[in-house]
A and B are shown apart, each in its own frame.
Chain A
Amino acid sequence: MSQKQYWTGLDELGTPVSHQEVAENEFKEDLPFDLSGTLLGASTPRRDFLKFLGFSTLAATVVSSCEMPVRKAIPYAIKPEDIVPGVANYYASTFYDNGDYCAVIVKTRDGRPIKIEGNEMSSITRGGTSARVQASVLNLYDKARLRFPGSPEGSGKTLSCKESTHEAIDRVVKEGIASKPGYLLTGSIISPTKKEVIAQFLAKYPNVKHVVYDAISYSGMLQANEACYGKKTLPTYHFDKAQTIVSLGADFLGTWLSPVEFAKSYSKGRKISAKNPKLNRHYQVESNQTTTGASADHRVTCRPSEMGLVATALYNEVTGGAKVALPSAKLTEMVAKAAADLKKGNGMVVCGANDVAIQTVVNAINNSIGANGTTINWATTSNYRQGIDSEMAALTDAMASGQVGSIFIHGVNPVYDYCDSKKFTDALAKVPVSVCFNERMDETAQKCKFLLPDHNYLESWGDAEPKAGYISLMQPGISPLFKTRSLADTLLTWAGATTNYADMWKNYWTTKFGGQANFETALQNGVVEPAGDMPIGGAAFAGNVGDAIAKIQAKKPVTGDEILVYQKVAIGHGGAWSNNPWLLEMPDPITKATWDNYACVSPKKAKSLNAELNGRNEVDSKKAVITIKGANGYAVNLPIVVVPGMHNNVIAVAVGFGRAESVGRAAASDSATGLGGRNAYPFTSYNGVNVESFAAATVTATAEKFDIAITQTHLNYEARPIVHEYTLEEFAKDPQVLMKERNVEIGEFSGLPWMEEGKEDKNAPAYDAEKEENYRKNGTLYPNYQYTGIKWGLSIDLHSCTGCGACVIGCQAENNISVVGKEHVLKNHEMHWMRIDRYFSGMPDDPDTIQTIFQPMLCQHCDNAPCENVCPVSATNHSSEGINQMAYNRCIGTKYCANNCPYKVRHFNWMDWNGADCFADNQFEDYRRDDMNDDLTRMVLNPDVTVRSRGVMEKCTFCVQRLQEAKLTAKKIGRPLKDGEARTACQTACPSDAITFGNVNDMESSIHKLRREEQAERTFYVLEHIHTLPNVNYLARIRNTEEIVANNEAKNGLLADHI
């Protein structure tokens, strides 16, 4: 097989030898004992060995001869009717957090929510989830949540909430509220009943105004839509209907607007098979490397300040206007191509810039290519974001001038994330009555006089209307854990209403749905949607394009370096969830970095900053620290992470870091050590119309170094071919292209040399199912085991995978996977059973050539598993269902299996992460992740899965607990298992339907059909030639572009040539 050039990092590309040396080393840290060449010369002599032996035997004896403790079996005093201990209940509900929406199913065990699944009945999110949705269950059990109403007391480390009562605070508020104008400041609210409650409240207190504020603002879009279409709202984007998608800086698969919805429809529109080798085309213009850019067919970079220029150029190209000079030839070329494609119809342009002028131009393009009514839907509008920047600016001004008598802040944290947070903070101090409803003592809560914490969404009744007419209900999975009160109840109390919110909510929907029965059905389904397909409609365009273009051209792009503030896919919206250890430890899809904040720079920029780009750069965790100074004078020191695909003049910094101590242990930023990162929001600015997320910046190198825990280079394949990628043209011309490659690789081994089949193979053109079977049989000396009953198989479509990481967190939540903390990620000790490998190809110094591909990697459950053969105690062995089993209680921790695993998917418990050891004080502690072991947080653990203790190996089990449960259910009913009943956690989490799982022995199953019929031409197994016979297959990626960069034969010193 030709060796395509994919690389995980620059060092692999540049100096393979030193990289190899590091990668080969099993232990990253220095070992505490001597590894000398001869046994006799070892500095650990025989006597020491005997001492250790004697001690450990004695210690084991002491421990094991302890008496069994007396355990109690305590039943319910009065058992709730709907709970059967040991059996999970599922409740349809709604995830909603300041604009991020997802229809979900909450799994509760014995009355506590432990897992979130997507709700497939919703036509919006269609069962998809994101990493944040998966991790939201951990927020419920966050130790840093406020537990009672009160007011902040003390400061710094002694800051706490002084307990008060709801009644006492209600009294103060009611007295203060009428005196002067007041403000209710919330995030975007999409709940119809909450809006009703707010209306009641505002009616009672006419001097109170409601202002909506979004930390990451979409005000530019809302304003442009109002000007162009007369609708201050957002349309619905139908990515599945688009033939051409042009995204100008919109990371719609990662962070923009509604990623779960978009990932679902995007992947639906991009399904490809050999029978129907057609594919839409996705152009991406962006400044930093995003997951959306990785999925794009064509990707070109520009500065964030040039985005308006690109939009103008595209507009002129589409409408036949004058050519606009663009900064790079690649951009010009791409704009021309994109415009040509857009004119073919069914096009769509989306733009991530928060700028009225640019959004007006984008609207004009969409109007002129006829997107409105075909791919962009104005008949069903979206309510995700409602904040207008000028209103927030006006509020801040009003507060600063002392006109405001009261402010009520719910769900937003402007002291941390507002562009002019200093002004806001100072102004807030002037407000006599300030109440914060936030769930924790965040930066804003600290500055408010009263705290009335709201429930978590898993404790609340509620509803959402993400799109006009599409209703989604929210029901609690648990009673409120603490003395909290919902915003709606608080406002109703203040408004003097006699009903509580739960009753009002129920009456509202019972009336709306027409009766109790309908209401109950709606509650059970979780969603109520209009019948039939979503109605699609256009809108009349009335925007002033000329004015917008003039405004764009009046603003000159930045010439020097530029800083871009972006959101992390994991922590997401506004970075409010930075105290979630699961999300902090989830490797970023692009940088693969965990835990801390850093500055993303291109390789070329890094070199100019004197950051060493030698072979050890990426495997060495010590990163050069630079000082970034924004145009407004705000400066921070941050370590750099080299990201191929970054624009050479752009430095990207993520928000969600640099948090206050009281936000939580995991989030807290330490100013001395730099742990916890730095706040990037102050780099943003308000330009009088909109908040801009980029600014001119000066960057200077420092002599400092800082550790960044990056996972991608931890587990290395040593340049073996593992991903397959083709251009659409290649694939359409010859769908058998992959099968031919597989045939070259292993075809001749499918028969024995003296057998007929073997000889025929030489001439046969392509690999097929029969050859695969023969290869299985003949490629080994072992007998070929017949799998009679069920045989599990999993398929991952590399073409659909967007690298979002929902599967990683879904797996973590389902399987009690430990969080190890930064210190141990640095030592390669991360425990994720499912990881997403990211590979680059292209020329590192030219960001426009970079292509990125993701490959989720998990235990391949090899039928001829290398790990099974080397286990001295048979702790890992094969089941009759094709599962590579791992018996923790038999494992003695030799780690032979991990060393022998060619996929590097086995993870060893180096420490007692969860207090599962029998030694009580053996538990690993590192402060930032310690809350995971709090009794409250441990309620999130799945009781069906063992919590592993120190010294054992672990890895993906194919969610065996789910498979066993599905089988048991079928057995109890007395019928065979149906396809789709046994589903893995990663499969259910995936928003882009990339994962298929099932029984391959069932000819009707989707996995069997996928491998043998529908996608037979794209199916391959990783490292198939070593005859591991994996039960996990991958589907090759198809890119609708002219060239797969990685198609070049490997060139030594590629890096040296280009950097």
Chain B
Amino acid sequence: MCFKFQYCVVVLPPLLLYKGKLIFKFILVPESIMQLFRICSRSALAVIFALLLLNTSAIAAPDGKALFQSNCASCHNPLKDATGPALQNIDKTFPSKEWGYAWIHNSAALIAAGDKTAVDIFNKFNKTAMTAFPQLKNDEIDAILKYVDDYKAPPTAVAAAPGGNDGGQSEGGSGMVYTIITLSLLVLAVILWRANQTLGRSANEKEGIPNAKEIPLYRNKVVIAMVAILAFIMAGYWLVNGAINEGRQQNYQPLQPIYYSHKVHAGINQINCLYCHAGAEKSKQAMIPSTNVCMNCHKQINEYTGDKDHALVTAEGKTINGTDQIKMLYQYAGWDPVAKKYKLDKNGNIDAKPIQWVKIHNLPDHVYFNHSQHVKVGQVQCQRCHGQIQEMDEVYQFAPLSMGWCINCHRQTKVQFDNQYYSIFQKYHEEIKAGKRDGVTVEEIGGTECQKCHY
């Protein structure tokens, strides 16, 4: 099904516009209804204020999810053991909270100091040392631990279908709290309002003042108007949010024709990224290597022997036989592993077929992105955009690749200003010399202008 159901809400706005007329009529209604409106708005205000308060506190706190994804996700899964152990409820196994902080800040130091728990973990996980994170503050670590403890497995497998986006679901925990508070406050407001009404009416009766005829809620124009406005705002929010995320596929992790593990190659065997992706320093395209590049090594390496240290498992949990994958490569490359030579076609050329990889990082057509500009000139690490690729068996899209994400980086990143190309920016050089600035961001040399990327 091509639709996303949420957009059906779109038909509502024109309808609501029509109903909008009611609001204006309503301004001229008798005093009693005005009173009603005031009470309503007061309680509504209270609700909004409460929500706002809760929200601001949420903004101020460290974002456990983001921290987890940028720092931990390459080695840890909340639910299952990966390079490192599953993290859910792992804080309950720590001897103390402080021990946890120490371990995360620098596990190697703990191991070296002979801490028993530390050494046990180290041994359990194949003596792979955990990367030190001295930069993480204690409250940030708390946030991460809270996030993993609250984490629930997504309903389907991680390997989302193209276009799938599982972002936002894990926020269910805190979202629920807000919802409950909001609902209870609303109920409270309604009860208070009803009580006020009833009391008012009985007071009126007592004093002999005639009561205005009570209108049922569903015919109450104020209520209708309020609901309409609310629905309009929510529909707009849904629509805009949905539209913005259209075509983005963060975490996209398709099944590839060959189970090629970046972790085995770039991580465990420490092959330089540029060995295969030679274009990254020369071209706009990083270049996926052709099969003959693979064969430079795989003429010798014809089986996967690392199963004990690092078993190959798909995201669905299926075990992969690495040697079979190398055999598949031979099929594509036209290599005869028995005769140890290439198969030739009738023209005497190597009978190789290109491997049809599924493209993960898709930029829109109207964006010009140049790898060499970033890798060679900007000295940006591959991981900055691609995540801990050396830890990925199956590659997924780490960054959202949205324009906001690009622009943010361009705003914050300082260019390699000692490159002589930038010598023409005399003003900035003088300011640096005078100590007025410590660097120049990409934005300051025009890196956020439209035609730097769109032409």
Contacts and interface: CB of A to CB of B under 8 A. Distances in A.
Given A68-B247, A78-B350, A945 B455 contact: yes
B31 interface: no
Interface in A73-112: 73-79, 84-87
Nearest to B295: A78
Interface string A976-1007: 11000000000000000000000001100000
Nearest to A958: B451
Given A78-B352, A85-B285, A975-B421, A69 B162 contact: yes
A1 interface: no
Interface residues of B, number: 69
Contacts of B366: 888-889, 946
B265 interface: no
Contacts of B249: 68
B370 A968 contact: yes
A789 B445 contact: yes
A8 interface: no
Nearest to B285: A86
Interface stretch (B7-15, B150-158, B197-205): B7-15
B424 interface: yes
A72 B256 CA distance: 10
B454 interface: yes
Interface stretch (A436-444, A524-532, A876-884): A876-884
Contacts of A968: 370, 372-373, 377
Across chains A and B, which 8 residue pairs bring their CB atoms closest together, nearest first? Answer: A86-B283, A77-B352, A73-B359, A86-B285, A887-B450, A67-B163, A885-B451, A75-B288
Contacts of B99: none
Contacts of A788: 424-428
Interface in B269-305: 278-279, 282-285, 287-293
13 contacts: A73-B359, A74-B356, A75-B287, A79-B293, A84-B287, A86-B285, A879-B446, A879-B452, A880-B445, A880-B449, A887-B451, A888-B366, A972-B377
Contact of A946 (B278, B424, B455): B455
Interface in B3-52: 3-4, 7, 10-11, 14
A789 B424 contact: yes
Contacts of A1002: 424
Contact of A75 (B7, B355, B425): B355
Contacts of B293: 79
A741 B25 CA distance: 66
Interface string A154-178: 0000000000000000000000000
Given A75-B290, A76-B290, A975-B421, A964 B452 contact: yes
Interface string B169-192: 000000000000000000000000
B372 A78 contact: no
A67 B246 CA distance: 8
A38 interface: no
A62 B362 contact: no
A71 interface: yes
A889 B291 CA distance: 37
Contacts of B353: 77
B404 to A, nearest CB: 14
Contacts of A50: 14
B117 interface: no
- Interface majority SS on A: helix, strand, loop or mixed? loop
A1050 interface: no
Contacts of A76: 290, 354
Interface residues of A, number: 61
B2 interface: yes
A57 B373 CA distance: 39
Residue of A971, A975, A1001 contacting most chain B CB atoms (<10 Å): A971
Given A67-B162, A885-B450, 11 more contacts: A58-B10, A70-B162, A70-B254, A70-B358, A86-B287, A789-B424, A879-B451, A886-B450, A889-B364, A960-B451, A977-B424
A340 interface: no
B357 interface: yes
A932 B364 CA distance: 23
B73 to A, nearest CB: 23
Nearest to B246: A64
B134 interface: no
A65 interface: yes
Contacts of B292: 77-79
A71 B420 contact: no
B368 interface: yes
B358 A977 contact: no
A62 to B, nearest CB: 7
A968 B427 CA distance: 21
Contacts of B285: 85-86
